[in-house]
């Protein structure tokens, strides 16, 4: 029994070598997915959601065995599975493996993701169903504005992606703005069961939709739960001296007025109200909207209507539900001719 336990403990700590068929290799440690192993080693493996749904991290498993954390994940079609494709963000190697994929220079992380323990500090409401959650780690909170972390909450074996809303800092403060999902496992714990001092695992940072230093106008577009990374990007832009003359627009779409907030809610942003164009909009066509004097309609329509001739001279960032991101991408690429390199987004599956 003792021998069995110690050999399984050794297996848990095993480092598996992942060889790339096209050349090179990297280690994958302690139950890490192939994607996390690659990024921790500075290898440019393409990805987006880390949740098994976008399909960006597809690689071919040439040899070796993996444990698939989410066999029903929507990012891979059954035929692709049959042809040996796997989702690197959901597959944990069980021994040495060989995989085949094209390296993506854009995906080489500027900050390698790392696993830390995080302590829950507090939560406070922003709207009726979005709350801000503050965690603390020892050491600094290192990330780029716009990035997200994977949280493993107490009592959960799966991780969930949540974007940071604050700025990197040496105090180890990580803030998230999270929307309550009815019947959701992680949001159920966050909204109902977290107590000060509760410990969870935080792995990050991830995402390629971070603030670029191009001195073009900045347009941030968020729907629902997509608020956090857009606030981080706005904060990052306001803090960068090189971007001091750049115009910033923040579009935020909700269904009804109660889904929205005013800029006064964020004390650090209020003084920038003249430079920061905040445009909240409601999409619900309802008599209950009597008294709402702001923008109406879907957020992509508002962007199309209000950005005038600024499309060619702006950098676009967006986050939120996949249909919203797709609608804005269609507007930008097909109708306005914006180059894809100037569009940065995370879809919240």
Which chain residues interact with ligand FES by CB under 6 A? 47-57, 75, 87, 89
Q: Give the integer Cα–Cα distance in Å for 35 and 13.
A: 18
- The answer to whether 129 contacts ligand FAD (rule: CB under 6 A) is no
Least distance between ligand FES and beta carbon 46 (Å): 8
121: exposed, middle or buried (C-beta count within 10 Å: 0-12, 13-18, 19+)? middle
**Tokens 């857009």 appear where?**
230
- DSSP conformation letters of 296-329: ES-HHHHHHHH-TT-GGGEEEEEEE-HHHHHHHH
Question: Which alpha helices (H) appear in 31-181, and where do they start and end?
Answer: 34-40, 78-82
Ordered strands of the 15-20 beta sheet: 25-29, 15-20, 97-100, 58-63, 85-87
Spatial CA neighbour of 326 closest among 223, 227, 254, 232: 223
The residue among 57 and 228 lying less far from ligand FAD, judged by its C-beta, is 228
> What residues between 157 and 176 interact with ligand FAD by CB under 6 A?
160-163, 176
Residue sitting closest to ligand FAD (CB): 184
Query: Binding ligand FAD by CB under 6 A: which of 91, 118, 126, 228?
Result: 228
The residue among 98 and 136 lying less far from ligand FAD, judged by its C-beta, is 136
H helix or E strand, kind and range, residue 204: strand 199-206
The residue among 43 and 87 lying less far from ligand FES, judged by its C-beta, is 87
3-state secondary structure of 113: coil
Angle in degrees, CA 33, 170, 239, rounded to 5? 100
3-state secondary structure of 122: strand
Least distance between ligand FAD and beta carbon 95 (Å): 29
* Residue 55 binds: one of ligand FES, ligand FAD, none (C-beta under 5 to 8 A by kind): ligand FES
Least distance between ligand FAD and beta carbon 316 (Å): 17
Strand 248-254 to 148-152 pairing: unpaired
Least distance between ligand FES and beta carbon 118 (Å): 22
The residue among 166 and 207 lying less far from ligand FES, judged by its C-beta, is 207
* Residue 161 binds: one of ligand FAD, ligand FES, none (C-beta under 5 to 8 A by kind): ligand FAD
Query: Binding ligand FAD by CB under 6 A: which of 184, 257, 297, 322?
Result: 184
DSSP 8-state assignment for residue 146: T
* Residue 47 binds: one of ligand FAD, ligand FES, none (C-beta under 5 to 8 A by kind): ligand FES
Note whether 144 and 210 are within 8 A (CB): yes
- The answer to whether 179 contacts ligand FAD (rule: CB under 6 A) is yes
Note whether 219 and 310 are within 8 A (CB): yes
Query: Binding ligand FAD by CB under 6 A: which of 43, 46, 178, 222?
Result: 178
* Residue 250 binds: one of ligand FES, ligand FAD, none (C-beta under 5 to 8 A by kind): none
Q: Give the largest CA-CA distance in the chain.
A: 72
Query: Binding ligand FAD by CB under 6 A: which of 34, 49, 302, 318?
Result: 49
- The answer to whether 185 contacts ligand FAD (rule: CB under 6 A) is yes
Residue 23: CB atoms within 10 A of its CB come to 7
Q: Which residues bind ligand FAD (CB under 6 A)?
A: 49, 51, 148, 160-163, 176-179, 181-187, 225, 228, 346, 348-349
């Amino acid at each position: 029994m003792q021998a069995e336990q110690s050999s399984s403990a050794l297996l848990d700590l095993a480092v598996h070598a992942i060889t790339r068929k096209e050349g090179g290799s990297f280690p994958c440690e302690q139950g890490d997915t192939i994607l996390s192993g690659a990024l921790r080693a500075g290898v440019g493996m393409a990805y987006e959601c880390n949740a098994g749904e976008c399909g960006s991290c597809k690689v071919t498993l040439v040899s070796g065995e993996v444990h698939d954390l989410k066999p029903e994940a929507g990012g891979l079609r059954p035929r692709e599975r049959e042809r040996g494709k796997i989702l690197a963000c959901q597959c944990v190697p069980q021994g040495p493996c060989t995989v085949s994929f094209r390296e993506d220079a854009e995906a080489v992380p500027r900050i390698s993701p790392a696993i830390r323990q995080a302590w829950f500090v507090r939560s406070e409401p922003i709207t009726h169903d979005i709350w801000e959650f503050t965690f603390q780690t020892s050491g600094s909170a290192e990330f780029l504005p716009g990035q997200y972390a994977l949280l493993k909450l107490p009592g959960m074996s799966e991780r969930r992606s949540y974007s940071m809303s604050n700025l990197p800092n040496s105090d180890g403060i990580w803030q998230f703005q999270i929307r309550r999902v009815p019947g959701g496992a992680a949001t159920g714990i966050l909204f109902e069961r977290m107590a000060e001092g509760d410990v969870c695992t935080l792995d990050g940072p991830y995402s390629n939709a971070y603030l670029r230093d191009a001195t073009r106008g900045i347009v941030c577009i968020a729907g629902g739960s997509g608020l956090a990374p857009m606030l981080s990007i706005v904060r990052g832009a306001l803090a960068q001296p090189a971007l001091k003359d750049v115009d910033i627009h923040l579009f935020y779409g909700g269904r009804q007025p109660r889904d929205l907030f005013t800029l006064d809610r964020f004390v650090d942003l209020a003084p920038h109200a003249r430079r920061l164009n905040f445009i909240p909009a409601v999409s619900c066509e309802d008599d209950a909207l009597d008294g709402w004097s702001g923008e109406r309609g879907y957020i992509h329509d508002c962007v199309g209507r209000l950005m005038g001739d600024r499309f060619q001279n702006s950098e676009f960032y967006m986050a939120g539900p996949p249909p919203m991101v797709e609608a804005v991408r269609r507007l930008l690429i097909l109708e306005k001719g914006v180059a894809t390199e100037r569009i940065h987004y995370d879809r919240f599956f």
